Structure 1
Amino acid sequence: MLLTPRQFMLSLFLAAGTGAAVAGGASDPAALATAQAIAARPANEGRVGTMHFAMRNGSGDTRQREALMFHSDTPETIRIAIFFTQPAMISDTAFLTFDHRVGDDENWLYLPATGRVRRLPVSDRGDYFMGTDLSYGDIKDDFKFGLEDWIFTSAREETVDGIRYARLEGEAQSARIIAETGYSRFTALIDTERNFPVDITYLDADGDPLKHIVVEELDTVGGAWTAMRFTVDQLQSGHTTVVYFTDMQHRPHLDDSVFDAESLAYGVPYLD
């Protein structure tokens, strides 16, 4: 069986360990409490919006992509479906993720060129999403830090431009997490009133800065704080992805068929 690059790297990490430090022991209590507050951030039952991607390479050339995003939050599972509509060459490409409160998460990808829906292994969550600087895991995590992925090592107050934040830091729980996500550590500024990270830097498996995410616009949708615009800088390639939403609507009763993996091939769902 042929392995994907991500799966090959995972096998190497588990066989030989990594060059990055892997956290041991328990989280700092204050840091864990901050991470738990972020994880418990109130969510709306459902929202729909147009998702825009502007991808700029190191030479300054920019490509645009557009998709329709459906987000549903239930007591059991957070579901996100993304259907690309522009440009024509990737139109009808679709991604679906289930982030279960209990049990393993699930991800699917539909590529029109193949004509089939492919289930993505969890080990692929560090792969880049549709040519952007976001990983599949970044999309799924929705500006939260997986409590099962990280040892939270520090949380301290920090003032930036006269505004007080919490500085949260974490290290990967294990070599497997580093291999799956591509991240060994992170440091983040947390808006403690909203329990929302507004500035995140991730380090790679060698402990070098890899990715910087800045949330530039927050708004409430159905009573839940939502990132409406953010920028992702890939610090090692010089690539940048700007993501922003338009026409965001609170849709609390999205039909389950929107989040059906086998229906991804049918294209963008119709909403009344």
Structure 2
Amino acid sequence: MRTSIFMSLALFGMITASAQSPEEKGLEIAEAAEEADLGFGSSIVDLKMTLKNKNGQSSERFLTNRTLELTEDGDKSLIVFNSPKDVKGTATLTFTHKVGSDDQWLYLPSIKRVKRISSNNKSGPFVGSEFAYEDLSSQEVEKYTYKFLDQKGSLLLVEQDPVDPKSGYTRRIVTYNKDKGYRIEKIEFYDRKNALLKTLTYSDYKLYKNKFWRADTFNMVNHQSNKETLLKFSGYNFGVDLSDDDFSQVALQRAGK
């Protein structure tokens, strides 16, 4: 009798697993990725941004990104440009929300003013780069609906459709690496006409605190404009003590001065 019960349970598990829908499996993968990255607390990292136009000409910018992890809602981030002179002091503050539109503000040192970024403008380019303002938001599970597409070895392909009707994308195809903490290897972005717009590739990963994977290189290629933005991260610091006060509009203005 014990053998037959265990066999029945195993068979039930196999049937349940095979009955899982692509939507359920896609959501499960996204939740696993979120769970794998929980607990980093806060971080500061320096970046070099290289902008390349369609003719291959390039320019460089240097910036700092601060992030505060929140569990009850989305994360907060503050990005400050340190050089060159024409963008120095420009700063962006993002409050990601699990439900509803994110809150974003831009500080422009030339006019010494904080400008709120309208939800209608989230698909616009971030300070001339191939990243949109909505790309700055943290990866919150609630911001998308999901559909598992394919598995290629350890790589899992999941379609993510934005819940926000004002998103500049109809969908994203995200490639997760299940053997490396469900870290993201690549994202393909499709525009409002459902044409491939951009591809973001993550590389040069490093493991911090034996848990948190961070890519040292982000490469965003715009297939429609033939432009490219390369981000090189260096000096990740997870030991900083950041609080909500470091992510206020006052802090935004102070960071840009």
TM-score, normalisation: structure 1: 0.78
1:187 aligns with 2:187: no
Structure 2: segments with no counterpart, 5+ residues: 1-20
Distance in structure 2 (CA, Å) of the matches to 1:263 and 1:150: 30
Question: How many Å apart are 1:38 and its aligned residue?
Answer: 2.3
* Equivalent-residue separation in structure 1 for 2:212 and 2:252 (angstroms): 27
* 3-state SS of 1:75 partner: coil
Task: Report if aligned partners of 1:68, 1:268 keep a CA contact under 8 Å in 2.
Answer: no
Q: CA deviation at 1:224?
A: 1.8
In the alignment, which residue of structure 1 is the partner of 2:187?
Answer: 200
Q: Is the 8 A contact 1:128 1:136 kept in 2?
A: yes
Paired AA for residue 229 in structure 1: T
Of residues 35, 46, 50 in structure 2, which corresponds to 1:50?
46
Give the conservation status (yes or no) of the 8 Å contact 2:169–2:190: yes
Q: Which amino acid aligns with 1:227?
A: A
Q: Which has the larger radius of gyration?
A: 2
| Alignment equivalent of 2:223, drawn from 235, 258, 262 | 235
Aligned to 1:106: 103
The aligned counterpart of 1:261 is 249
Q: Match for 2:195: what amino acid?
A: D
- TM-score for both structures, normalised by structure 2: 0.82
Pairing partner for 1:35 from 21, 30, 36: 30
Return the alpha-carbon distance in structure 2 between the equivalents of residues 121 and 27 of structure 1: 34
Q: Tell me the secondary structure at the aligned position of residue 181 of structure 1.
A: coil
Closer/same/farther in 2, CA of residues 218 and 184 from structure 1, 3 Å limit: same
Over the matched positions of the two proteins, sequence identity in percent amounts to 22
Match of 1:224 in 2: 212
Give, as a single letter, the amino acid of the residue that structure 2 aligns with 1:185.
R
The counterpart of 2:124, out of the listed 106, 113, 127, is 127
Instruction: Report the alpha carbon displacement of residue 200 of structure 1 after superposing the two structures with TM.
Output: 1.3
Aligned residue-pair number: 233
Give 1:207 deviation, angstroms: 1.3
Higher relative contact order (CA 8 A, sep 6+): 1
**Match of residue 14 from structure 2:** none
Q: Shift of the alpha carbon at 1:169?
A: 1.6
Change (3 A) 1:102 1:253: farther
Tell me what 1:168 maps to.
158
2:86 to 89, 106, 126: 89
Alpha carbons of structure 1 residues 89 and 171: separation in structure 2 relative to 1, 3 Å: same
Change in 2 beyond 3 A, CA 1:196/1:109: same
**Partner SS, residue 36 of structure 1:** helix
Matched, 1:151 2:145: yes
